[in-house]
């Protein structure tokens, strides 16, 4: 019931935002006001977090197991601070993994769920129903709220992931010859109503990274970092970024390490 009510409010807000789209200031004011309103009632992402908590402990898949044996880098089942220290190298997989590719790995090895199938349905269509992946991500990420971002760069593969991520960030391509940095290397730049954070400036990079995943009011659902990058690839007119691919993990590593020292504040609430 609470959930229905919130989703109706959000749909109304989405409509209101769309109709005030001609005036940037009023849209931003609207969001600020809405944030204040929500501080009393909570971010709707909290509902997704609760779903994720249930899913984490639910025995699922052919192996009928919960994710309590899933090691996100802090020991099996430990979610506190885990997101603030990912992507990181995992010895069992011999790979650097972000949260989403690690969850796919755990679903596969612990629960026997097919990772390709899970990846295909990881991004919800944008309704009031989060995907299972989005719910699990919300649950894990919330356990790093207020925690300092400290993504490791010890292992050779962690350093290599960062370097590849950096190359992808500055690589130009697509019909407009854009790189990530074409849109994200100038302070104060915007596209239509949207602020484009300068991701090369430490403080702004921290603020941007620490606020994802986020509940997107305009889409009525929680969006993860994988979604964020996929959508920016689209804005860059590049080929579709494959979910949980090495390139996506590398880019996330680059952004996350640059945000080290910042404080996690996600799931946040976004336009």
- Of 7, 81, 182, 219, the one binding ligand HEC (CB under 6 A) is 182
- Of 198, 226, 236, 253, the one binding ligand HEC (CB under 6 A) is 236
Among the listed ranges 61-69, 118-126, 138-146, 226-234, the one in contact with ligand HEC (CB under 6 A) is 226-234
- Of 42, 194, 203, 239, the one binding ligand HEC (CB under 6 A) is 194
**Long-range CB contacts (within 8 A, 24+) of 253-256:** 253/87, 253/96, 253/98, 253/151, 253/158, 253/161, 253/162, 253/165, 254/161, 254/162, 254/165, 254/166, 254/168, 254/169, 255/165, 255/199, 255/205, 255/208, 255/209, 256/86, 256/87, 256/149, 256/151, 256/209
Among the listed ranges 66-74, 128-136, 146-154, 193-201, the one in contact with ligand HEC (CB under 6 A) is 193-201
Among the listed ranges 46-54, 123-131, 133-141, 231-239, the one in contact with ligand HEC (CB under 6 A) is 231-239
Burial class of residue 22, CB neighbours in 10 A (0-12, 13-18, 19+): exposed
Q: Is 183 in the site for ligand HEC (CB under 6 A)?
A: yes
Q: How far apart (Å, rounded) are the C-alpha atoms in residues 46 and 61?
A: 25
Q: Is 262 in the site for ligand HEC (CB under 6 A)?
A: no
Among the listed ranges 92-100, 145-153, 154-162, 182-190, the one in contact with ligand HEC (CB under 6 A) is 182-190
- Of 235, 245, 246, 263, the one binding ligand HEC (CB under 6 A) is 235
CA distances from 95 to 87, 147, 221 (A): 10, 24, 30
- Of 184, 222, 257, 259, the one binding ligand HEC (CB under 6 A) is 184
Q: How far apart (Å, rounded) are the C-alpha atoms in residues 168 and 102?
A: 21
Q: Is 219 in the site for ligand HEC (CB under 6 A)?
A: no
Among the listed ranges 58-66, 117-125, 132-140, 229-237, the one in contact with ligand HEC (CB under 6 A) is 229-237
Tokens of 179: 């790189």
- Of 65, 79, 180, 269, the one binding ligand HEC (CB under 6 A) is 180
Q: How far apart (Å, rounded) are the C-alpha atoms in residues 179 and 166?
A: 11
Q: How far is the CB of 134 from ligand HEC (least distance, A)?
A: 17
The residues binding ligand HEC (CB under 6 A) are 169, 178, 180, 182-184, 191, 194, 196-197, 208, 211, 228-229, 232-233, 235-236, 251, 255, 271
């Amino acid at each position: 019931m609470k959930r229905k009510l919130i989703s109706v409010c959000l749909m109304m807000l989405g409509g209101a935002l769309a109709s005030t789209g001609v005036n940037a200031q009023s849209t931003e004011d609207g969001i600020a006001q809405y944030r204040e309103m929500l501080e009393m009632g909570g971010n709707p992402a909290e509902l997704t977090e609760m779903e994720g908590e249930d899913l984490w402990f639910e025995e699922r898949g052919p192996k009928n197991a919960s994710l309590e044996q899933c090691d996100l880098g802090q020991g099996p089942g430990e979610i506190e601070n885990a997101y603030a220290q990912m992507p990181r190298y995992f010895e069992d997989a011999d790979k650097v993994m972000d949260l989403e590719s690690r969850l796919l790995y755990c679903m596969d090895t612990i629960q026997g769920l097919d990772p390709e199938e899970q990846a295909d349905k990881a991004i919800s269509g944008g309704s009031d129903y989060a995907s299972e992946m989005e719910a699990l991500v919300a649950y894990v990420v919330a356990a790093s709220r207020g925690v300092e971002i400290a993504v490791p760069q010890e292992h050779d593969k962690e350093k290599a992931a960062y370097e590849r991520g950096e190359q992808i960030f500055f690589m130009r391509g697509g019909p407009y010859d854009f790189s990530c940095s074409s849109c994200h290397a100038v302070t104060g730049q915007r596209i239509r109503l949207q602020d484009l954070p300068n991701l090369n400036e430490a403080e702004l990079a921290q603020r941007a990274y620490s606020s994802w995943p986020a509940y997107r009011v305009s889409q009525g659902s929680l969006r993860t970092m994988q979604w964020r990058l996929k959508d920016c690839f689209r804005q860059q007119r590049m080929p579709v970024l494959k979910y949980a691919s090495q390139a996506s993990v590398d880019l996330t590593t680059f952004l996350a390490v640059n945000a080290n020292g910042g404080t996690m504040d996600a799931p946040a609430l976004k336009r």
